[in-house]
Structure formats: structure tokens, C-alpha cells
């Protein structure tokens, strides 16, 4: 494993000054109550002077800037090209860059890799301990059973393994990567990769005009939701990242500046990406549940092939209203007799394309299916099928919540098996998700009752009942009477 150096946060002002980061009446300090570092005001703020921090564009890590660095950094350039598509998205490119910087700053590595960059030092100010579930023990992860985070975490860990294996396969033949893979002095491990992934997940921001990026110093800001948010990040006319006062906010001297990590993010996503739950959450706000197509569905394989995302649906609250979203649910609820069809098209380049058709017409993939169903006179029937499938899946999830409660009790009472801070997070997540799901069952069942009363659904159900009645053969009662 690489040696991750650590510098005290009180040395950060020197780094900031050296790299032209402008701090306007603010400071980065260690916060109380184990909240890590944060940004506080040194004086009363004024809306007439809203810019609190300016970070030069060349310090911002984004897909564009990483590839700009690669023009003058041969090692970075070779690695980015070697990893292929992985280096063509912001996350992949940034992870590669961070691994190079950590390797270069590691005192254990004999051969230098990549060019020196200010992040070579800045990375030493970042945390080396994380509370995200990717760093929990196996026993601690068991506490997540019955929550929507459990399958998401399993998939994440599998993805991490695949990415790390791809990184090794793609780069182990490069001379510059001997510091990673050499049998005698290679130091890069899956734990190092988990750390850079955690740094990206917990600190990446969607910077206006730039896209997903890591921004030094601004990334020290802690989360505050709703009215607690008093600052936000933007890009100025010169392409620099800036931290500015939120509209209508004027924190006094000594107050902490808080940005939002996403007021629409649910409890599951907060734990997954940041390792904590917003204390202001009254329920889980949003969660994703996987759903499966029955084995007796003749179009099952085609439906799975046509849908290139996780099969399932999201239950969420927006402005207090409960709803759901899931294109896959509509795909699950219709079949050939309704008008759904799949066709394989042979392309000129030899590849094959799976086309989705509704009532004989090609549609623009699965995402366009819902619009087609809305125009059908069977729309209420399709909605009824969807809501029934969703409620059944939610009830299964609630049963799983109840089933693991006793197991959680056993785990949390066993001495020194789980850390109390992770126990608290897991139990809070379970409670918040169960609350949201129970409310969803109540409201969605009301919708089912309403749909059952509609004229179209009644006609459909009556027709189904007639078709399923046993048919008696004509003259059957007198078949033995030959008179």
C-alpha cells in the first residue's frame, strides 16, 4: 500500500498563498464534533462583496484540465490512453491523476511517476479515514441488510474490483507504472484505489461551466441543507472556481460557511457518497428498488437487453409530494398482446441493433415507451399494472426490513464487532427508509383503488373475466341421447 502522508490543516494557508488561492475574509479550520475541516468567516460578510474564495482554473481537476495536464506529462498521457474509455470520463481521468499524485508523494516509492503538480501537496491535507460503507467491515455491512443501500454497496464493490483489475491489466506493461505493479517494489493496492474513489465521491462537485470536478479548498466546505445553506460555488468569467454568498445570506464573523451537497439526495445516497445522514431528514426522501421480470415472460431476455440501466424504480419525495420513477416498470408491465415488439436490425458495420416497437412503429428506445402508453386507451390499465407491481415490490422490501431487525440487534450487542458510529448510521437509514416505504404503500394503494374504479379498467377486467370462463360445448348435456 502507498504511504499517504498527512499534513495539519493549519499549514493550508501557506499552500493556498503559494498557489494563488484567494481567501476573502475566510479561513479553513478544524471543526468541532468530529466534523473534519470546514470554512469559517473571519469577519461579517456583505452582499456587496459576495466572493469569499477564488481558486485558479489550473488547480481544478476536471476531464478537460486533466487532459490538458497530459499534454506536458508523458506518464499521465500514457496511462490515460492505456486505460481507454475509463480515461474519457471525469471520474476515471481524475482517479488516474490522483493515483499518480499519491504515488509521487509517497515516501516508499523509489521511482517518481508523473510531473509535479500542486495536488502533489494538497492531497496530504485530505482525510485518510472515511465513513462510507466501502470502508466498513463485513459485520458492519450486515447492518445494512434490508435497506436499499445493501445491493448498491455490493454492486459498488464489484465495480471497484473490475476497475482496479482493468487498471492493472491496461498499465502493468508501462515502464512508468512499475511503481504500481512491480513484483519487488510495486505498492499500489485495492485499498489505495478505494481511497481515491472515496475522495472523488465525497468531494466532487458539478461546477457550472466545467462539469464534475474537484476544487481544492472549496471542497473543505461542509454540508448544510435548506435554509442552512449560506454559500455556493460557481465559475467566474476567467474560468476560475469561486465560493460566493448564497442569495439573501450574510453570515457573521465566526460562522461556518455551508454549501449543499444536494438537497434532493436521499438518505441512501448521502451514506453511500459521504458516510453520513442529514440530521434534518424526516424520511429517506429517495430510494431505489430493483425489480425483476418474471421468468414466464416470453420477452424477458429482450427487455433486459433493451434496458441499459439498473432494472428498478425510484420512490421519492419532491416538495412534499410522494411519487415514483422507473422506465423499466413500464417495460415490465406490457407484452406482445399489448403492442410491444422487439426487432434485431443488422447494421452495415456488422453489428446488430435491438429495436423497440410499439404497435408496429419503431420508438426511440425504452425511455419513449411511457409516452406511447399514455396515448393508448389502455393507459389506466397499464398504470394499474405498474402500481400493483410497485406496491408488491415495496411490501417485499418492508418484510426484509422487519426480518433483519433481530439480526441487527444481535450484531450491535456483540462486543467490539461493530463501531457505534456506523451502527447509528445503519439504524437511522433503516428507520428512514421504512417510514418512506410505508407511506408509499398507503398512497399507492389509494391510487390502485382509484384506477380500479375507472371505466377502462372495469371494461378490461370484465373482458378478462369472460375470456377466462370455462366454455361448455353445445349440446353437451344430451350427448348420449341419440333419439
Q: How far is CA 279 from the centre of its chain?
A: 20
Q: How many residues would you count in the chain?
A: 483
Quote the CA–CA distance of 39 and 256 in Å, as a whole number. Answer: 6
Place of cell 500500500: 1
Quote the CA–CA distance of 253 and 248 in Å, as a whole number. Answer: 16
> pTM, whole model, 2 decimals?
0.89
Strand order in the sheet with 361-363: 340-346, 352-358, 361-363
- Do 269 and 248 form a contact (C-beta atoms < 8 A)? no
Per-residue pLDDT, 413? 57
Closest C-alpha among 284, 342, 272 to residue 315: 284
The model's pLDDT over 114-128, given as tens digits with 9 standing for 90+, comes to 888 999 999 999 998
CA–CA–CA angle 199, 418, 280 (5° rounding): 60
The model's pLDDT over 456-478, given as tens digits with 9 standing for 90+, comes to 999 999 987 766 666 454 444 44
Residue 382 DSSP SS3 = helix
Handedness of CA 149, 154, 160, 166 (dihedral sign): negative
The residues with which 363 forms a beta bridge, in sequence order, are 356
Cell of 348: 452495415
The residues with which 260 forms a beta bridge, in sequence order, are none
Bridge pairing between strands 222-223 and 256-259? parallel
Per residue of the chain (483 residues), what is the pLDDT tens digit? 777 878 999 999 999 999 999 999 999 999 886 778 999 999 999 999 999 999 999 999 999 999 999 999 999 999 999 999 999 999 999 999 999 999 887 766 556 788 889 999 999 999 989 999 999 999 999 999 999 999 999 999 999 999 999 999 999 999 999 889 987 766 899 999 999 999 999 999 999 999 999 999 999 999 999 999 999 999 999 999 999 999 999 999 999 999 999 988 999 999 999 999 998 899 999 999 999 998 999 999 999 998 888 899 999 998 889 999 999 999 999 999 999 999 998 887 778 889 999 999 999 988 899 999 999 999 999 999 999 999 999 999 999 988 887 666 665 555 558 899 999 999 999 999 999 999 999 999 999 999 999 999 999 999 877 666 664 544 444 444 423
CA–CA–CA angle 61, 67, 71 (5° rounding): 125
Quote the CA–CA distance of 463 and 324 in Å, as a whole number. Answer: 29
Quote the CA–CA distance of 350 and 217 in Å, as a whole number. Answer: 50
Torsion angle in degrees (nearest 10) through CA of 197, 199, 203, 208? -50
Tell me the CB-side half-sphere exposure of residue 241, using CA atoms within 13 A: 25
- Do 24 and 55 form a contact (C-beta atoms < 8 A)? no
CA–CA–CA angle 426, 6, 177 (5° rounding): 95
Orientation angle between helical segments 420-452 and 267-274, nearest 10 degrees: 150
Residue 185 DSSP SS3 = coil
The residues with which 230 forms a beta bridge, in sequence order, are none
- Residue 468's CB is within 10 A of a number of other CB atoms, namely 7
Q: Please, where are the H alpha helices in 257-334?
A: 267-274, 300-306, 327-333
Cell of 353: 441493433
- Do 195 and 4 form a contact (C-beta atoms < 8 A)? yes
CA–CA–CA angle 110, 111, 113 (5° rounding): 135
If you ran DSSP here, which 8-state letter would residue 31 be given? P
Per-residue pLDDT, 480? 43
Quote the CA–CA distance of 277 and 268 in Å, as a whole number. Answer: 8
Closest C-alpha among 80, 105, 106 to residue 91: 80
Amino acid at each position: 500500500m502507498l504511504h499517504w502522508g498527512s499534513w495539519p490543516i493549519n499549514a493550508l494557508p501557506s499552500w493556498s498563498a503559494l498557489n494563488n488561492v484567494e481567501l476573502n475574509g475566510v479561513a479553513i479550520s478544524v471543526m468541532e464534533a468530529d466534523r473534519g475541516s470546514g470554512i469559517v468567516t473571519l469577519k461579517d460578510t456583505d452582499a456587496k462583496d459576495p466572493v469569499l474564495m477564488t481558486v485558479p482554473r489550473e488547480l481544478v481537476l476536471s476531464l478537460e484540465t486533466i487532459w490538458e495536464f497530459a499534454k506536458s506529462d508523458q506518464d499521465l498521457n500514457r496511462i490515460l490512453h492505456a486505460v481507454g474509455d475509463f480515461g474519457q470520463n471525469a471520474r476515471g481521468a481524475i482517479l488516474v491523476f490522483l493515483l499518480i499524485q499519491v504515488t509521487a508523494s509517497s515516501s516508499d516509492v523509489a521511482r517518481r511517476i508523473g510531473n509535479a503538480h500542486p495536488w502533489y501537496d494538497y492531497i496530504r491535507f485530505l482525510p485518510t479515514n472515511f465513513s462510507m460503507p466501502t470502508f466498513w467491515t463485513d459485520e458492519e455491512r450486515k447492518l445494512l441488510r434490508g435497506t436499499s443501500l445493501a445491493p448498491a454497496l455490493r454492486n459498488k464493490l464489484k465495480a471497484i474490483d473490475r476497475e482496479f483489475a482493468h487498471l492493472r491489466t491496461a498499465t502493468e506493461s508501462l515502464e512508468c507504472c512499475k511503481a504500481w505493479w512491480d513484483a519487488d517494489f510495486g505498492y499500489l493496492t485495492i485499498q489505495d484505489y478505494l481511497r481515491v474513489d472515496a475522495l472523488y465521491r465525497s468531494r466532487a462537485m458539478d461546477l457550472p461551466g466545467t462539469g464534475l470536478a474537484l476544487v481544492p479548498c472549496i471542497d473543505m466546505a461542509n454540508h448544510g441543507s435548506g435554509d442552512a445553506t449560506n454559500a455556493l460555488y460557481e465559475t467566474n468569467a476567467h474560468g476560475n472556481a469561486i465560493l460566493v454568498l448564497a442569495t439573501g445570506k450574510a453570515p457573521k464573523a465566526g460562522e461556518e460557511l455551508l454549501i449543499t451537497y444536494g438537497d434532493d439526495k436521499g438518505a441512501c445516497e448521502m451514506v453511500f457518497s459521504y458516510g453520513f445522514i442529514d440530521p434534518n431528514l424526516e424520511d429517506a426522501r429517495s430510494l431505489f428498488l430493483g425489480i425483476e421480470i418474471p421468468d414466464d415472460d416470453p420477452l424477458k431476455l429482450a427487455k433486459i437487453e433493451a434496458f441499459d440501466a439498473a432494472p428498478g424504480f425510484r420512490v421519492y419525495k419532491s416538495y412534499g409530494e410522494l411519487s415514483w420513477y422507473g422506465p423499466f416498470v413500464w417495460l415490465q408491465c406490457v407484452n406482445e398482446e399489448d403492442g410491444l415488439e422487439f426487432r434485431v436490425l443488422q447494421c452495415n458495420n456488422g453489428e446488430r441493433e435491438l429495436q423497440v416497437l410499439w404497435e408496429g412503429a419503431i420508438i426511440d428506445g425504452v425511455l419513449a415507451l411511457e409516452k406511447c402508453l399514455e396515448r393508448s386507451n389502455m393507459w389506466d390499465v397499464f398504470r394499474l399494472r405498474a402500481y400493483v407491481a410497485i406496491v408488491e415490490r415495496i411490501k417485499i422490501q418492508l418484510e426484509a426490513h422487519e426480518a433483519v431487525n433481530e439480526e441487527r440487534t444481535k450484531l450491535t450487542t456483540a462486543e467490539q464487532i461493530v463501531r457505534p458510529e456506523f451502527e447509528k448510521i445503519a439504524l437511522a437509514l433503516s428507520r428512514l427508509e421504512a417510514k418512506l416505504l410505508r407511506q408509499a404503500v398507503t398512497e399507492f394503494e389509494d391510487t390502485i383503488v382509484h384506477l380500479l374504479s375507472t371505466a377502462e379498467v372495469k371494461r378490461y377486467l370484465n373482458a378478462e373475466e369472460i375470456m377466462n370462463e370455462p366454455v361448455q360445448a353445445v349440446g353437451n348435456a344430451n350427448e348420449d341421447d341419440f333419439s
